[in-house]
Structure 1
Amino acid sequence: MKPRTIAGLARDGGVGVETVRYYQRRGLLDTPERTGGDSFGGGVRRYGDEDVRRLRFIKSAQAAGFTLEEIGELLALDAGQDRRRAQALAAARLMALDARIAELQAARSALQRLASACSASSQGPCPIIAAFQD
């Protein structure tokens, strides 16, 4: 295990230090105790490889479209081994992604038709501009 500071954790996890602190406030990442200080405080928090893995999981889950609340639930489910609920969350996310993909494909088709109509004639207003003004 390579101990690292919060800056090292953020760097290795591909996020900023404030993002790490935000995830800690949300309960997604643990905040380790400070070590090496004197009786007046000080010291440094040290993070390990498991913290990096958890941070990368959070980033990957966000990229897949999970909310931070859902990510927190997934992390809790992992600790409790509730695969059925984790599968249900994944299935719901897949359905939402499929719906979004369908919306984007419809928007792409509409824009493609407008672009074709725009290039078909040089007379009158451009259909693309007219479509977005309505």
Structure 2
Amino acid sequence: MTTKALRFYESQGLLPPAERSANGYRDYPDKTVDRLEFIHRGKVAGLPLAEIRDILRVRDAGQAPCTHLTHQLAQQLAGLDRQIAELTAVRETVAEHYKRAAEGDPDRCDAQRICSYL
């Protein structure tokens, strides 16, 4: 983890402000590692930092964020399913155009069209 990332997470409310040592360096408690690992897992799962921050706030308030997280993951899954469906449709369209182009004869193209394969 870079110092720049740590400062950014702190400025975004994902990490509580760190204590400062006598020389002015930030001094993070050991539990910060758990928090950073959670942030990383949330990012890998595709959750935006704002949502990760909300989940951490629920935890910081002394409540288990499991129900909230389950809801967010369900929304993430639904969004991914929509994206997959859209990409599958685009892929089918591209595959159809490719098949026509691969099987076509460029010498027989309609000169009035930019390209008859698309």
Q: Give me the TM-score of the superposition, normalised by structure 1.
A: 0.68
Larger radius of gyration: 2
Query: Unaligned 5+ residue runs, structure 2?
Result: 110-114
Give the aligned length: 109
Find the counterpart in structure 2 of residue 103 from structure 1. 86
Letter in 2 for 1:117: R
Please give the alpha-carbon distance, in whole angstroms, between the structure 1 residues aligned to 2:74 and 2:11: 28
- Between the aligned partners of 2:20 and 2:51, the Cα distance in structure 1 is 29
- Corresponding residue number in structure 1 for 2:50: 69
RMSD (Å) for aligned C-alpha atoms: 2.0
What are the equivalent positions in structure 2 for 1:1-134 lying under 5 Å apart?
A: 10=1, 16-35=2-21, 37=22, 42-79=23-60, 80-123=63-106, 124=109, 125=115, 127=117, 130=118
Which aligned segments of 4 or more residues in structure 1 are displaced greater than 6 angstroms? Answer: none
Once the two structures are TM-superposed, the CA of residue 22 in structure 1 deviates from its matched residue by 1.3
Instruction: Give the secondary structure class of the aligned counterpart of 1:81.
Output: coil
In structure 1, runs of 5+ residues without a counterpart are 1-9, 11-15
Question: Does structure 2 conserve the Cα–Cα contact (< 8 Å) formed by 1:74 and 1:86?
Answer: yes
1:63-103 CA-to-partner distances (Å, cap 9, x unmatched) read 22211111111222334114322221221111111111111
| Preserved CA contact (<8 Å) 1:62 1:68 | yes
Taking the aligned partners of 1:118 and 1:48, their CA distance within structure 2 comes to: 61
- Are the structure 2 counterparts of residues 118 and 75 from structure 1 closer, same or farther at C-alpha, using a change threshold of 3 Å? same
Tell me how far apart the structure 2 counterparts of residues 47 and 76 of structure 1 sit (CA, whole Å). Answer: 18
If asked which structure has higher relative contact order (CA below 8 Å, sep 6+), I would say 1
Q: Comparing 44-53 with 106-115, which one deviates more in the overlay?
A: 44-53
TM-score w.r.t. structure 2 length?
Answer: 0.76
